[in-house]
Amino acid sequence: MRIAFLVAPEGVEQIELTEPWKAVHATGGVPVLVSTEQGEIQAYHHLDKADTFPVDEVVGASDVADFDGLVLPGGVANPDQLRLDDKAVAFTKAFFDAGKPVAAICHAPWTLVEADVVRGRVLTSWPSLRTDIGNAGGEWVDEEVKVCDHGPNILVTSRKPDDLPAFCEAMTAEFDKARVAD
């Protein structure tokens, strides 16, 4: 099971990348760091620089068919940069078009809003995205983790780093279900 982790070159909240990454790896999956540029990405701990991570694939050269699911980590700057990148938005939307599971935490649903995939879905996020999600046709709820089964797609969302244990558990369970269904 290969899982794409889509991040911008700078601004991802490190723990929202590393904890889901470890969870995918612990369940036998292969996490793949996909970014909009080659090289390394710079992670953050809130507003402070944290570690750097090597990019495995560039979004424009990556094929959704090569992955079983998508993780969108948060951080404020990360999804804000991704939603301005046409290839990142198209890559995200392609997972929905292919009926593959997607997991997004914190501010990451901004990328989902830009990809026009929240309409008719119930999801959670960092509270400041509530209006954006509503304006995009989604329903925002204040829950630790929300699993939305909408047609062929499963969307797993959480609000913040404190929700990571529940997010990782729900995300890996849904990735497993999708793998078994294939």
Q: Which residue has the higher pLDDT, 142 or 152?
A: 142
CB 27 within 8 A of CB 180: no
Residue 146 has pLDDT above 70, yes or no: yes
Assigned token pair, 75: 């951080």
User: Which residue, among 23, 40, 29, has the nearest Cα to 69 in the 3D structure?
Assistant: 29
Assigned token pair, 129: 């995205």
Residue 125 has pLDDT above 90, yes or no: yes
pLDDT tier for residue 11 given thresholds of 50, 70 and 90: very high
| Average pLDDT estimate for 137-166 | 95
Catalytic residue among 25, 46, 107, 168: 107
Assigned token pair, 108: 């990451």
In degrees, to the nearest 5, what angle opens at C-alpha 24 toward C-alphas 19 and 30? 125
- Name 145's Cβ contacts closer than 8 Å, sequence gap at least 6: 124, 156, 157, 158, 163, 166, 167, 169, 170
- Strand pairing partners for 148? 155
Residue 177 has pLDDT above 80, yes or no: yes
What torsion, rounded to 10 degrees, do the Cα atoms 33, 37, 43, 44 define?
-140
Catalytic residue among 45, 46, 106, 168: 106
Second-level CATH architecture of 2-181 = 3-Layer(aba) Sandwich (3.40)
Q: What is the pLDDT of residues 28-65, one digit of tens each?
A: 999 999 999 999 999 999 999 999 999 999 999 999 99
Residue 182 has pLDDT above 70, yes or no: no
**What's the alpha-carbon Rg for the chain, to the nearest Å?**
14
| Average pLDDT estimate for 155-179 | 95
> What percent of the chain shows pLDDT beyond 70?
98
**E strand intervals along 128-175:** 139-140, 145-150, 153-158
Assigned token pair, 178: 């999708």
- Parse the chain into domains and list their residue ranges: 2-181
Interatomic CA distance for residues 72 and 12, integer angstroms: 9
Q: Of 13-27, 46-60, 92-106, 144-158, which gets the smallest average pLDDT? A: 144-158
Residue 151 has pLDDT above 90, yes or no: no
pLDDT of residue 178: 84
Assigned token pair, 149: 């089964």
| Phi, psi angle pair for 86, to nearest 5° | -55, -40
User: Which residue, among 109, 108, 101, has the nearest Cα to 149 in the 3D structure?
Assistant: 101
Residue 179 has pLDDT above 90, yes or no: no
Residue 112 has pLDDT above 70, yes or no: yes
Active site residue 148: no
